[in-house]
Structure formats: structure tokens, C-alpha cells
Amino acid sequence: MSQFIINGPAKLSGEIPVNGAKNLALKIIPASIILADEITITNLPDIEDIDRALSLLEILGGKTEKRGSRVKIDTRNLNKNELPKDIANKFRASIMFVGPLLARFGEVKFPHPGGCVIGAGGRPIDIFVEGFKKLGAELKIQNDHYILKAKKLRGNTYFFPNVSVTATESLMMTATLASGTTTLKNCAMEPEITELAQYLNENGADIQGAGTPTMTIKGVDNVSGGKFHIIPDRIETGSFAIMAAATGSELTITDCRPDHIQILLTIFEKIGIKYQRGRDWLKIKRSPKIQPYSIKTHEYPGFPTDLQPPYTVLMTQAQGTSIIHETIYDRRLFYVDMLSQMGADTIMCDPHRVVVNGPTKLYNKKLTSPDLRAGIALIIASLVAEGETQIGNIYQIDRGYEKIDKRLRKIGVNINRSK
């Protein structure tokens, strides 16, 4: 199993550009199914889940032509509406193909999606299924496959029982081709959702209210393709900003959107991390003393659950006590046990809350990354720690951070990948 070997402590310097947002790329690719047209996507991050999504599209009859961070997709001849178990089982975002296939073909067959272990009951999809049924689909379960059928989806009102990013995106895309008007309430408000809605509207859809808790989607007969540029990944931006803060480094983060991590920058001001910002760059200044500040993860624009693990590492270096409360997912504090093995002073109150006392020296350790965001947190911890740290299961990190070792070496990190 390949590993990262990292020598700390590290001082970062220079500039690091941010890639396109993984969690937007994983939606625009399935969205191309409702377009039944050609679409060119630029600023695509080069990570495994994207390749998975593109190969899934090809299995369904789509054509894809990827060159670096640009891909041309043609879904005019799509001819299959069943998600193969071996691929769909490997990544959660395969669920995003279900709605568009249902809207386009009136029927879709799929297994339960896979992906990170976080989330109760292995990443539930009850909210998706309820939403599709609200739009008139009928559900059958046949030997561990779901089959959804709907001659023609009909607009309706659906109140999300739990704010869900992918369920919001999925129902928004699907309702675009339903007959009549759909009102979605208690929607997620992530910037990626607003981007997606804006793109679909530029090409014939009629989606109002994206980025607010209530969306109204007027069904249309078709939506055409066009060019789509993926916005910078706000979680990469926040991860690099926290990495600089935790190592007391001065680092400039480019090709980013500081306005998409306003919550983190607001907390940086409270804890003494100095920074300068422009429209598409963020410069973290060397900040010797960090004050503790407790957080509770929350849907956008609140503190993102995906930045919780990196932020917890930062709090191990703060001058005092903080409480980290993970409200979105179960199992997203698994990595804290490894931080305490590295020397962090943590007390698990319950599966969702941990008390962190700082500052503590961290020491090198042999670690395994339990999930994507814990993986980058362990990298940050190893940059703070003394000595050589080994991190296994780095497939989980490669899934979300393109060529992360190569990019970190460019800003002064002593990191190597062992086969």
C-alpha cells in the first residue's frame, strides 16, 4: 500500500495555486446527462473520482475526451440507464447520476452508492429517494438494486428533512426536466450549487433561488450544453490556509475565492492569524501565537465539515482549550485518536465533540488515513510534528487533492511517496 513519508517540522513558503472544485466537477459531469448535448468543462481537477465519473458516463454511452484539466463530453447518444455495481459502489457521487437518468429515460437502476465511511448507515440516500418519489417516481428494490420509474416527472413541493448538498443538487437538476413547477425547501446553499444553477439557466433551465433555502424550478423540455469553467475548490483553499497557519508560515494561495471561505477568515481574525486577500488570492502571514476558538460545523455559509479535521489540528497548536463539534457526520472524528497518538491533548466527549488543549508538541507516527479530509489533516499534523511521519491509505488523499505531494514540495515540504 503506497504511503506518504513526511519530515517535520516544516516551514512553507512561496505560492500554491488552487485547483477546480472537486465537489462541483462531480456534479456537472452527471448534469451533462440532462443536456443531451456537447459540453466543454475547463479547470477540471485531475483526481480519481473525476476519472470514475467520466468512465461511468462512457459506460452509459456518453463520449468523453479529456486533455489535462479540460474535457469535452457528448451525451447525445447515451443509451444505458443502469449504474454498474463495481463502479457505483466505489464512490458516493455516483448517486448524482440517478436523477438525470430518471429525468431523461423515465427509469433508472442503481446499487447503493459507496465512498467515504462517514455518515450514518454508510451514507444514506433516503432524502434522494423521497424527493424522486415526490416528483412522481415509483421505487422498487430488487436484489439489492433500486429501480426508479416515472413516465414523466411532475413538479411538486419537497421539504428536505435534512439539509443535504448532493440531494439539493440532484433534485434541482432532475426537476429541470419535470413538467410543471417544483419548489424545494430547506435547500443547501453551497457556492457550487449556485454555480450549477447559473450554468443550467444560461442554457435553457429556469431555476430561481439557488444559494437560498428555497428554490423554484420551472420544468423545461430541454437544456443545451455549452462551456463550463469550474470555480476554485474552497476546501483546498481552506486546507492550505490552515496548513500555513499551523506551521507558522507565510504562504500565498492563488487562483482561489477567499469569499467562499469567509467563515474561516472570520475565525482567523479572532484567533490571531494575519492575512491579506484579493479577489482571487489569499496571503497567510506568519502568526506566532494562535488563540483557541471553538467551532460547530454547519452547512454553508457556516463552518464546513470538510475543514473540521484540518482546523482541529490547528487547535492543537492554540494557546488554550477549544471544543470541536462535528454536527453533520457520524464517524468524522475517527482521526482524532491518531492525533492523540502524535501527542495532541484531546478528550472525546461523545462521537460528535472533542475538547482540544493546546499548545502541544506533536511527534512523528505511522498513520493511516481514514477518509479524504482526515488525510489532509494528518499531513498538516506531520508538518507540525518532529521527525518522519508515514501516512498509509493515501488513495483517500489522492481522491481529493491532485498531486498533493508534488504541489507541497514546491512550497518547501519534505514529502515523498513510497510505492
Which of 36, 125 has the CB closer to ligand EPZ? 125
Q: State yes or no: residue 26 binds ligand EPZ (CB under 6 A).
A: yes
Task: Give the residue among 358, 302, 308, 357 at the shortest CA–CA distance from 335.
Answer: 308
Please pick, among 116, 187, 256, 349, the residue that the annotation labels catalytic. Answer: 116
Which of 191, 292 has the CB closer to ligand EPZ? 191
Name the strand (E) or helix (H) holding 192.
Answer: helix 191-202
Q: State yes or no: residue 126 binds ligand EPZ (CB under 6 A).
A: yes
DSSP 249-310: --EEEES--GGGGHHHHHHHHHHT--EEE-SSEEEEPP-S------EEB-STTSB-GGGHHH
Cα gap 258→271, rounded to integer Å: 18
Which of 24, 36 has the CB closer to ligand EPZ? 24
Which of 255, 330 has the CB closer to ligand EPZ? 330
List the strands of the sheet with 353-357, edge to edge.
295-296, 321-325, 353-357, 345-350
Q: Check the CA dihedral 112-118-119-122 and report its sign.
A: positive
Return the range that interacts with ligand EPZ (CB under 6 A); candidates 59-67, 158-166, 223-231, 277-285.
Answer: 158-166
Cα gap 245→382, rounded to integer Å: 14
Side-chain half-sphere of 51: how many Cα atoms within 13 Å?
9
Return the range that interacts with ligand EPZ (CB under 6 A); candidates 6-14, 140-148, 160-168, 346-354.
Answer: 160-168
Rounded least distance, CB 192 to ligand EPZ, Å:
7
Among 17, 84, 119, 302, binds ligand EPZ (CB under 6 A): 119
Q: Are 264 and 300 in contact (CB under 8 A)?
A: no
Which of 22, 260 has the CB closer to ligand EPZ? 22
Among 305, 316, 360, 364, binds ligand EPZ (CB under 6 A): 305
Which of 104, 112 has the CB closer to ligand EPZ? 112
Cα 111 to chain centroid distance, Å, stands at 21
Rounded least distance, CB 377 to ligand EPZ, Å:
11
**Residue 116 known to be catalytic:** yes
Cα gap 150→309, rounded to integer Å: 41
Cα 18 to chain centroid distance, Å, stands at 14
Q: State yes or no: residue 84 binds ligand EPZ (CB under 6 A).
A: no
At residue 2, φ and ψ (nearest 5 deg) are -70, 155
Q: State yes or no: residue 228 binds ligand EPZ (CB under 6 A).
A: no
The contact mask relative to ligand EPZ for 165-204 (x = CB under 6 A, - = no) is: xxx-------------------------------------
Which residues contribute to the site for ligand EPZ (CB under 6 A)? 22-23, 26, 92-93, 116, 119-120, 124-128, 162, 164-167, 304-306, 328-329, 372-373, 400
